[in-house]
Amino acid sequence: MAVTAKHYAEIYRQFQAPISKRYDCGKKCAPHNGGVPVCCDIDNAIPIVDKPEWSLLKSRTDLWQRLKPTTPSQRREVKSLEDSESCAIKCKGAAHCERDNRSLACRSFPYFPYFDPKGNLVGLAHYWAFEGQCWVIANPMIVDQAFVTEMVASHEYMFRHDKKWHETYVEFSASMRRVFSRRKKKFAVLGRDGGYFWVLPHSGGKMIPAKAEDLARLGKMFPEDPATDANAAA
């Protein structure tokens, strides 16, 4: 069974929590990205949706359109999706965001459902390609538990209706373990029921509790505020 537009409507209903009520994370990364939040910039992150989700979005809003590639990287991305069940889209920009009509990729960024080696969905891990660009990845403690809970629940709903999506994230979780083992580095997981954990490299996916002071050191992954740098230089 595959996920339909009706299923995506239910996923949208279930997953509405902001990543943080306290912080507007777009204001943290935008100064380093020409004034545009990284996740809203198609030069950094092209939204990919499957065709049922695209059908739903078109029926709800004129916010989105199919991406017409203008750069070599965009052309490669669009070409790679030919004959697939997915397509690349773009919105009108962060200033025109309609929160109820965000794609699932927008709602989830920068996280994906993380499965341990036994196949248990234990929480959320980050898309490591955006380290150094996404402020949230460097500051995981600002993520609200409501966001984690809703993201996990909505994805579990999706997995019940589409085994391919489940397999995709199981495989992606394994890929992350391999990447970080090669780096000889641990990575953080936001626990589905609260708390934070490290996944250790070369450990078969072993997880241990993460201390707040250790997580705070991840902030070094993100550059200082340009305004702060300018004031310091003056």
State how far the Cα of 102 lies from the Cα of 162, in Å rounded to an integer: 21
State how far the Cα of 212 lies from the Cα of 14, in Å rounded to an integer: 29
Task: Give the per-residue pLDDT at 233.
Answer: 36
Burial class (CB within 10 angstroms; exposed 0-12, middle 13-18, buried 19+) of 14? middle
Q: Who contacts 34 (Cβ-Cβ below 8 Å, separation ≥6)?
A: 41
pLDDT in tens, 203-229: 999 999 999 889 999 988 887 665 544
Task: Give the per-residue pLDDT at 212.
Answer: 86
Q: Indicate the domain borders of the chain.
A: 5-233
Q: List, as one string, the DSSP characters of the chain.
A: ----HHHHHHHHHH----S-SS--THHHHGGGTTTS-GGG-TTT---EEEHHHHHHHHHH-SSEEE----SHHHHHHHHHTTTSSEEEEEES-GGG--GGG--HHHHHTTEEEEE-TTS-EEEEEE-GGGTTT-HHHH-GGGS-HHHHHHHHHHHHHHHHH-HHHHHHHHHHHHHHHHHHHHHT--EEEEETTS-EEEEPTTTTS-EEEPPHHHHHGGGGGSPPPHHHHHHHH-
Both structure tokens of 45? 């992150």
Q: List, as one string, the DSSP characters of 10-66.
A: HHHHH----S-SS--THHHHGGGTTTS-GGG-TTT---EEEHHHHHHHHHH-SSEEE
Q: Along the 234 residues of the chain, how does pLDDT read in single tens digits?
A: 789 999 999 999 999 999 999 999 999 999 999 999 999 999 888 999 999 999 999 999 999 999 999 999 999 999 999 989 999 999 999 999 999 999 999 999 999 999 999 999 999 999 999 999 999 999 999 999 999 999 999 999 999 999 999 999 999 999 999 999 999 999 999 999 999 999 999 999 999 999 988 999 998 888 766 554 444 333
Burial class (CB within 10 angstroms; exposed 0-12, middle 13-18, buried 19+) of 122? buried
Both structure tokens of 70? 């203008």
State how far the Cα of 99 lies from the Cα of 18, in Å rounded to an integer: 9
pTM: 0.91
C-beta atoms surrounding 36 within 10 Å: 19
Task: Give the per-residue pLDDT at 230.
Answer: 41
Burial class (CB within 10 angstroms; exposed 0-12, middle 13-18, buried 19+) of 101? middle
Task: Give the per-residue pLDDT at 225.
Answer: 63
Both structure tokens of 185? 């580095």
